[in-house]
Every structure is written in structure tokens, then in C-alpha cells.
Structure 1
């Protein structure tokens, strides 16, 4: 049975849902910050975990300054506030895309709250070697320039050209106009794609981690960055069903594979 709650933190009400029972598993959403993207995955995991999904600050049901710039440290604190409010101890954490970057910041700054991290295709292209990093920085700057000049629709269509493994008849992430993508592009996009985790801090924290790449994602920028992060930490880099939206498109298989990854996380390193 699902329960909806809110937690007040730093001038915002963060809305979240709890489903199922078992070890605590926090899902951190990317994109437009709306946790309903995780509805199918949560349903598939609720027989094995207490699954918590939340709407990010100033998105969907959560309040906050819709014109405020995304602060990655604050985004990590929002996730921490949700874990603390649930009050069931440390959580396993799964983050996708922008949510994977936020999950890294949560783990970096609040390792005591993270039992283990499964990080799905984090977009951290500034970690890549040159000239690859520069190529993607130029592309992201171009997406933002198109947003300023032409609006959210054209900008998101351009952004969608960078996604790999999507059927021609199924839109890639971002291939839609308007809506909440205005906040994403105006106040979140540049902060997310310029984020670089503190690898030394993550190593010191000793939280068991796996980076994850969709088997259909090929050499997409977010697949490259997942592999590079795993190399630098180091930690395992695993593959999983589907593409960047595999958690929604193949929810049952994705949930089963995610569960096996969590079960096989290595023991936490001593502090």
C-alpha cells in the first residue's frame, strides 16, 4: 500500500511516496524531477524493499523557488532529508541520469545515510578525457543557447539527439515541448551537466557502489561517463536491460536485475 508524505526542509516541502516493505531503497529521479517516472519500477520492487520516490525541489508536487538555481549540495540535502524523515536507517540508493548525479552528491556529503549506491548512467562528461569532454561541453552549451533563443521544445529536441538505443517510433528523453522542461533548462540543466563528483571523498566514504550502463545505450555520453567513474573510483560497472529509460520501459526485468545488484554489493569498507 502506498503512502504519501512531505518533509519540510530549507524552505521547501519535498513530497515523497512510500511503497512496500523490506530494506529502504530511495529512488532519485532525473529529467523534470517528477517521481511518477518511477511508478512502474517502484511497483516491481515493493515486494522486496520499502521503496521511496520523491519529487525534486520545485518540481511536480514539491515546493520551492521555481526560479531558483539548482544547487547540487542542496539537492543532496533534500534526498538526505527524505531518508531521515522516513526514519528507517540508511538507504540503498538508485539514481538515474541527473538523479544519478544527485545520488553521487548525497553519497559524497552524507555517506552515513547511504547503505549502497547503484548509479545509472550519470551525465558527468567533464570527467572524460579530452577531446571527448570538450565535445560534450560544446554540445550542452549549444542546447542552452537554443533554449534561450527558441524555447524548450527545440532545445529538448536537440538534446534528444544525444540519446542512444531508442526506437524511431518512441521518443527519446526530452523529445517533447514545453511543460516542466522550462525549469529544467533554465535552472537545472547547466548545473547537472557541469557537476563532477569528489572522487576522493567517495573513496573515503567507503559506500559500496556500482555504476550501471543500459545494454542498449552503446557509447552514449552517459554510458561513457558511467564507465569512467567506475574506472576512477574504482568500482564495478555493470550492464542492465534497456536504454536510458530502461527502468520504465522494461520495469520488471530492470527491477529483477537491480535487485541482484543490490544483493551483490560488496561489504562497506571500514572507516
Structure 2
């Protein structure tokens, strides 16, 4: 039986946010699984929108699944005219989606910038989240080389404003593929060639990229409120891909886990391990979903 998916919109401060509610599949006898159905699962990315979670959502037919488009991405329209967004603003959007959906407290799987925003959500509204699986949250604030890492991220944003998408994205791809700490003399390194990544070097004049423009500085400069997170009733699991060792998002995951006094839970594949062809990227979605399901089942 086909799952029913309904798109809704909720007004937030400075944005109209679109989200989708994907119903659980009824049991074989045609009756609802309401008595046994686990909490709704909210899948969160940033700047990735709901389309990136199609494969992962398909593995959780036993529960309601919520996906959404972050403000300024896809169907979620900004109304404040701001050029940048802070994780706390994204967290406010997430709060409004959960409350509007009326399915809380929810389980949350959040990846990349979405994991940073979900940490801000739990710090401010822990009663809304039963379990948070924060997958590779790229906050530079928790790295031993934080000052250099923050400068590298700020340079990517400045390059985007000055030179456009190609040169900035080339620097971003070099950032996420580097293994180990950033060297203090990183500015002496030659800038990566956009052509080496199949990117255009010329500037097309656009400045609407949500990764390089809207979210780059706010996300990577976010400092988790570890006191609030440790005090929260929410069970927090910090995750990283087995193939991500030594790279910026995985190192940041280790730093967040250390701040919480817990270990890192390893998931299959890499930063996009849950992808099943979305955006032309392939992870290990079946194994990834199995691991996520096992992690969520351990919640009491």
C-alpha cells in the first residue's frame, strides 16, 4: 500500500516553512498500528531539503516520518530579507514544525548542518525530542584547531561573495575532503582549481546559494550549549560515518561527543551515507537505516 504524504506550511519568524508528513504503512490486516507505532521520526538536513531523505524515509514504514525544507531552501521562503541564518533561527523553525504537526515528542535524525540546528533545538526545547541522532555536525567551535577552521570557513563565505559559486565551492570541497587538522599556514596553500571539481571558474553573478551564503558562517561558528544539552531529558547520540575518519565533520562529531561526555556511534559509509542516489550521490542506505533503527530502538 502506498504511503500517504501531505505537505503543510507553517509561519515562523522571517520565513514560511514547508514540511511533509509521511504516514506509517497500515499493518497487513488493514488496521492501524497506532498502539505499537513508535514516535514520529523527523529527518533534518541543512541546507539539504526534504528530497534528500526519500531513500532513508522508505526504510521506516512503521512510523510517521516528517521531512522539511529549511528556510531559504526549496519550498521554504524567507520573508525577512536576511542574507545569513543562525542555527537558533533554524531551531525555531523546527520547533514550529513539530508543534504544528502535533506528533511530539519526536525522534530526530539530523545530518550535517541539520545536526547543528537540531542541537540548538534540543538545547532550547528538550521536551520536543525523545532521541536525537546528530550525524556529523560541522561546528568548528569544538575542534582543537578551531581558530584556523573558523578562518577557513569564513574565507569560503568571503570567496563566494567576492568571486561566486565555482571558486567558493572548490574551497568547500577541499575543506570537507581534508584529513586531519587545518595547518596554521593554510593561506599559503594555492586555491583549488574549480575545474578540478567540474565547476565553472567564472562568476555568474548569483548569490543565493544557501550553503555558501546563508548558512556557512552561522553553522560552523555555532557553539553548542553543553550544559543545556547534558541537562536535557533528550537522549543524544552523536554519529559519524566509518569512512569519514579524520575529516572536518567527523572530527567535529568527536568534539561534540566529548563535550557531552559520550562516545561517537559509528554509522555505515560517509557523510552522505543515507543517500540512495539523491543528488547523484550513493551511500549505503540499507545498512545506514538498519543502524539508525537499532539506535532508536535502544531508547527506553
Which TM-score band applies after superposition, normalised by the shorter structure? 0.7 to 0.9
Cα 1:194–1:175 change in 2 (3 A) is: farther
2:247 maps to 1:212: no
Measure how far apart 1:55 and its partner are. 0.2
Measure how far apart 1:258 and its partner are. 0.6
**Structure 1 gap segments, 5+ residues each:** 166-173
Measure how far apart 1:86 and its partner are. 1.1
Measure how far apart 1:264 and its partner are. 1.6
2:289 maps to 1:255: yes
Contact 2:71 2:78 in 1 (8 A): yes
2:3 maps to 1:17: no
Measure how far apart 1:36 and its partner are. 0.7
Contact 2:40 2:103 in 1 (8 A): yes
Measure how far apart 1:77 and its partner are. 1.1
Measure how far apart 1:35 and its partner are. 1.6
- Matching of residues 42-191 of structure 1 within 5 Å: 42-45=57-60, 47-65=61-79, 67-68=81-82, 69-129=84-144, 132-164=145-177, 182-191=209-218
Measure how far apart 1:59 and its partner are. 1.2
- TM-score normalised by L of structure 2: 0.79
Give the aligned partner of residue 46 of structure 2.
30
Count of residues in Structure 1 that have an aligned counterpart in Structure 2: 254
The CA deviation string for residues 20-39 of structure 1, in whole angstroms up to 9 with x for no partner, is 323211111123x4221111
Please say which structure displays the higher CA radius of gyration: 2
Measure how far apart 1:256 and its partner are. 1.0
- TM-score normalised by L of structure 1: 0.87
The CA deviation string for residues 59-116 of structure 1, in whole angstroms up to 9 with x for no partner, is 1001113741203222101101111111122001111110000000000001010011
Contact 2:207 2:213 in 1 (8 A): no
Give the aligned partner of residue 170 of structure 1.
none
Distance between the aligned counterparts of 1:203 and 1:176, measured in 2?
Answer: 42
Distance between the aligned counterparts of 1:128 and 1:253, measured in 2?
Answer: 29
**Secondary structure of the equivalent of 1:246?**
coil
2:262 maps to 1:235: yes
2:272 maps to 1:245: yes
The 4+ residue runs of structure 1 with deviation greater than 3 A are 174-181
**Secondary structure of the equivalent of 2:22?**
strand
Measure how far apart 1:13 and its partner are. 2.1
Give the aligned partner of residue 191 of structure 2.
none
Cα 1:37–1:25 change in 2 (3 A) is: same
Distance between the aligned counterparts of 2:207 and 2:51, measured in 1?
Answer: 14
Distance between the aligned counterparts of 1:186 and 1:163, measured in 2?
Answer: 17
Contact 2:176 2:247 in 1 (8 A): yes
**Structure 2 gap segments, 5+ residues each:** 25-36, 179-196, 276-282
